[in-house]
Structure 1
Amino acid sequence: MRRDETLKILSEHKDDLREKFGVTSIAIFGSTARDEARPDSDVDTLIEIERPAGFFEVARVKFYLEDLLDTKVDLATPGALRAPIRERIYQDLIYVR
């Protein structure tokens, strides 16, 4: 999926993500953010949620995004990122406006 298309779709549904799941920010990273995604690439996303979120809440957001983007989504939260990979992710990070 192309970077611009992904950002447009996510931007159009940002309010829904906040209302349904409490998502306060969403960003993409990886091949989609670099606009290097292949047809079989997933969309790597980083979300922040206003209330404490367990596994099932994060999974609900993941499934919602997969339906929305019609592709596989890898979903992470800032607290789940370990130091070695965090720096690499933050280099690619593009926040949805």
Structure 2
Amino acid sequence: MNSAVNIPHERMADLCRRYGIRSLSLFGSATRADFRPDSDIDVLVEFEKNAEASLFDLVEIARELSELFGNRAVDVVTPAVLRNPYRRRAILKDLERVYGV
């Protein structure tokens, strides 16, 4: 994990419980040495089986995470993006779980 990314674990856990998020992982520059002050934060969320997340929920999750990360831009994706083999490879090589099992 990049030490420049400050993760408020307690507040993140609260957000994840409220939205039924089973796991939350960072990927991209947030997990690498090329993370800069203007970098966004890429997030992969996996929901509990009984959670029903809409597109509006994803937008709200991104907004709340942005606040947690000091108003940085946050992009939130779900495991559906991993169906594309090129994206899957790019995401999984940097993936670091910060919440969940």
Shared fold, TM over 0.5:
yes
Structure 1 residue 5: deviation in Å? 4.8
Q: How many residues align?
A: 95
1:27/1:63 CA distance change after superposition, 3 Å: same
Opposite residue 8 of structure 1, the aligned amino acid is I
Q: Which runs of 4+ in 1 moved over 6 A?
A: none
1:79 paired with 2:77, answer no
1:89 paired with 2:91, answer yes
CA contact 2:65–2:74 (8 Å) conserved in 1: yes
Structure 1 residue 32: deviation in Å? 1.1
1:8 maps to which residue?
7
User: So what's the TM-score if we normalise by structure 2?
Assistant: 0.81
2:66 maps to which residue?
66
Cα deviation per residue 1:56-92 (whole Å; 9 max; x = unaligned)? 0111110000011121111111113322111111000
5+ long unaligned stretches in structure 1: none
Q: Percent identity?
A: 34
Opposite residue 94 of structure 2, the aligned amino acid is D
1:43-54 matches, cutoff 5 A:
43-50=41-48, 51-54=51-54
1:19 maps to which residue?
17
1:5/1:40 CA distance change after superposition, 3 Å: closer
Provide the rounded CA distance (Å) in 1 between the counterparts of 2:38 and 2:6: 18
CA contact 1:45–1:75 (8 Å) conserved in 2: yes
Alignment RMSD (CA, Å)? 1.8
